[in-house]
Amino acid sequence: MLRAMYSGIGGMNNFQDKLDVIGNNVSNANTHGFKKDRTTFQDLVSQQLAGASTPQDDRGGTNPQQIGLGTTMASTDTIHNQGSMQTTGRDLDMAISGDGFFVVNDGEQGLYTRAGNFYLDEEGTLVNSQGLRVQGYGADEGGNIEIDDDNLGDLTIQAGDARNPVPTSNFDFAGNLSTETEAEESITVPYSVTDSQGEEHELEITFTRATDDDDDEITSNEWNFEISSLGNSQLNGNSYNADDDQSVEDLDDEEDDDFSISGTLNFNPDGTLDEIDDVESGQVEFDDDDDNYDALFLDPNNGAEVIEVPIDEEMFASVTQNASSTTVDLNSVDGSQQSTLESYSVSEAGEITGVYANGTTQLLGQIAIANFNNPGGLSKSGENTYEISNNSGGAQIGAPGTEGRGSLTGAALEMSNVDLSEELSEMIVAQRGFQSNSRMISASDEILQELVNLGR
C-alpha cells in the first residue's frame, strides 16, 4: 500500500508540473517570439521480486517479476517550431522565417531572442523593448557592409541624418533611334550630373543621322553623338572640341567655357548596338597628344573633384535602331546632392536601407542572426531572451539567409507558436491524471485504515 501511495504522490507532483508548463504556455499565447514548452515523463526504478530465468531442458524460461515505484519528469523541452507572421506595417518590426535568433547585448554578454519589436533610443541605437542593443554589421560612408566578427556591434540609425553628396560616375541612355530620320537630322537629350559638392551641372547629348562624307548619303547603321557641357565646366582644366563629328579625334584647345565629346554609334542589322568607333575598353588618361579616349573628365571649376564617367558600349547598350519612332532618352544617372534620411526598410537579408529626401537610397547596416547546433539547449533568461548553456553549442553569427540561418520579414512580427486548442486538451489530460493519482492515494489510505481496524 505504501508503494501505491508514494507512486500516487509522485504522479500528482508530475502532473502538477505539467499543468504549470501548460499554464505558462497559455499565458504566453500572445507573446511575440515565444516558443512553447512540453513535459515528458519516465518511470522510476522498479522493485524486482524475482529475476528472469533461462529455458531448461524440462521447462521454459520465465520473465522477471517487477513492481514499478512510480514516475518522474524526464524533460521539459522548448519547441522551436515557426510561429505565424503578423504584419504590423512598422518599419522596425522584424520577424525571422526559419532558424536563428536576433542577437542583443545587455552590456556584458550576448543574448538571443526571436522577438523583433525593435526601437530607436535617444541616441539612434537600435534596441528591443528592454533596452538591449541589437547587434549587426555597420555600413561605411559608401554603403558597403563587411560581414566580419570585427564589424559586429550596435546598430545606429540617425533620423534626419544628412547624406554627403555622391558624385556622378555613370549615366546611360535607352530608347530607339528611328531609321526614318532624315540625313543630318538630330535629337537632343538634356540631363545633369552631380559633383562631389552636390552641385549639378547641365549636359546634353545630341544624336545625328550619319552621312557619307563624299555624297552626303545616309549611312544606314551609323549615328554620330556629341556630349556637350552647357556651363563653365571644363575638361581637365581646359576646354576641348572635336573637329571630326564621326570620331573622337584631333581635339584642339579652345578658349570658350564649353566643351564637347563626339563619337559614332554603329548598329547591327537587327537594330542592336554593335560598337562605338574609336572608343577603347577601360579608362585611359587623356592629354593634349591623345587622339583616342573613352572617359569623360568634367572639371566643375568650383573646387569639387573632377567627375569621371566611362564612355563605352554600356552607356548606349539599351539604345536601338529600327523603323519605329525615336524615343531615345536618359535611362539612368547616379550621383546625388546632400539629403536627409526620411525612412528605412529591412530586406530578407536583414539589410537596413535608408531612403533619403531626394529619392536616393543607401545601406545603413545589416541585422545579425545567430544559429546553434542545439537550439533546444539554450537557457531561458527572461524578457523573451535566451542565453548559451553547456549543451547549446556556441553562437554561429552571420547574415540572415546564409549557412542555414533564416531570412527576415520586415514590418512583421513572429507570433507565439502556442496552439491553445492543443494546450487545453493537454490540460484536461493533466487534470484527469492528477485526479487519478489523488484517487490512488485515497484508495491506499482507505485500505490502510481497514488494516488498522483489523486489530479492533
Q: Residue 147 and residue 363: Cα distance in Å, rounded? A: 13
Q: Residue 245 and residue 233: Cα distance in Å, rounded? A: 21
- pLDDT at 5 (0 to 100): 84
- pLDDT at 229 (0 to 100): 77
Q: Residue 239 and residue 260: Cα distance in Å, rounded? A: 8
Q: Which of 13, 74, 90 is nearest to 42 (CA)?
A: 74
Is residue 147 classed as helix, strand or coil in its secondary structure? Answer: coil
Q: Residue 446 and residue 456: Cα distance in Å, rounded? A: 16
**Could you tell me the maximum CA-CA distance found in the chain, to the nearest angstrom?**
141
For the chain, residues classed under CATH 2.60.98 are 171-337
DSSP designation for 316: G
Contact 68, 8 (CB under 8 A): no
pLDDT in tens for each of the 456 residues of the chain? 678 888 888 889 999 999 999 999 999 999 999 999 999 999 888 888 899 999 998 899 999 998 888 889 999 999 999 999 999 999 899 999 999 999 999 999 999 999 999 999 999 999 999 999 999 999 988 789 999 999 999 999 887 777 778 889 999 999 999 988 888 888 999 999 988 888 888 888 999 888 876 667 777 788 888 888 776 554 333 333 333 332 333 333 333 444 566 777 887 888 788 777 643 322 222 233 434 446 677 777 777 787 888 888 888 889 999 989 999 999 999 888 888 888 889 999 999 998 888 778 889 999 999 999 999 999 999 999 999 999 999 999 999 999 999 999 999 999 999 999 999 999 999 999 999 988 888 888 888 888 888 866
Contacts of 362 (CB under 8 A, 6+ apart): 139, 143, 163, 353, 354, 356
Q: Residue 434 and residue 415: Cα distance in Å, rounded? A: 31
CA dihedral defined by 86, 88, 93, 99, rounded to 10 degrees?
A: 20
Is residue 268 classed as helix, strand or coil in its secondary structure? Answer: coil
- pLDDT at 52 (0 to 100): 93
DSSP designation for 359: S
Its pTM stands at: 0.68
Contact 176, 326 (CB under 8 A): yes
* Torsions phi, psi for 11 (to 5 deg): -65, -40
CATH topology of domain 171-337: Tick-borne Encephalitis virus Glycoprotein; domain 1 (2.60.98)
Grid cell at residue 415: 507570433
Please compute Rg for the chain using Cα positions. Answer: 38
- pLDDT at 272 (0 to 100): 82
CA angle 35, 36, 41 (to 5 degrees): 140
Query: Quick count: other Cβ atoms within 10 Å of Cβ 128?
Result: 20
**335 in the Ramachandran plot: left (φ > 0), alpha (ψ -120 to 50) or beta?**
left
Q: Residue 389 and residue 370: Cα distance in Å, rounded? A: 14
- pLDDT at 7 (0 to 100): 87
Q: Residue 446 and residue 153: Cα distance in Å, rounded? A: 67
Contact 308, 196 (CB under 8 A): no
Query: Quick count: other Cβ atoms within 10 Å of Cβ 404?
Result: 12
- pLDDT at 245 (0 to 100): 37
Query: Quick count: other Cβ atoms within 10 Å of Cβ 355?
Result: 15
